[in-house]
Chains A and B, each alone.
Chain A
């Protein structure tokens, strides 16, 4: 079992829908990242957080350290949001990052 689990693995949505992607982890962490990977491989860092909630445009990321769980929300989804969303955690007191397998999102017009 991977130490970082994401759900769902695949997600389809209609344009305008509210989307939630979940990440659960089983190790002690110092930070959690949400990344976006477009077809072709390019990766963009969306959020890095260790507590609470962050918002950037239509994207919101939350983390609950006690429950070892994070969510990524997309409001008013758009076809250009179609990508793979990856959760990664930094193991506490190390430089090691562990990645989830990603959630493939497709938003249709």
Chain B
């Protein structure tokens, strides 16, 4: 049990659908992250939230819309996706961003495997 849960674990959607990915952490952390992992590509950081405020948007298309209502929950709202958006979407959390020096250790969820038809 990593302390970070993601739902659903698998999702198949059409290009016109709207769906949401959910991430919840039970670790009392203040920073949460969305990552995308496409086949044969490095992990890509998508968004970073610290104390519910977005601190990083790594040039992500607007068809991906994050929401962080509190420090324990993070959503990724999806709409009008493309087949190339099919990937494993991973959520992670850390105590905070550790800007004073070391980047705090991140704890990852199991991921949502998304297929866009």
Contacts and interface: CB of A to CB of B under 8 A. Distances in A.
Given A4-B42, A88-B43, A99-B44, A45 B107 contact: yes
Contact of B45 (A30, A45, A50, A96): A96
What range describes how many residues of A lie at the interface? 20 to 34
Given A50-B101, A95-B56, A42 B108 contact: yes
A101 B42 contact: yes
A45 B108 contact: yes
Interface of B: 2, 37, 40-45, 48, 50, 55-56, 58, 88, 90, 92, 97-99, 101-108, 110-111, 113
B56 A100 contact: no
Contacts of A40: 110
15 contacts: A30-B102, A30-B103, A31-B98, A31-B101, A33-B106, A41-B111, A42-B108, A42-B110, A44-B108, A45-B106, A50-B102, A95-B99, A100-B42, A101-B42, A102-B42
A95 B53 CA distance: 13
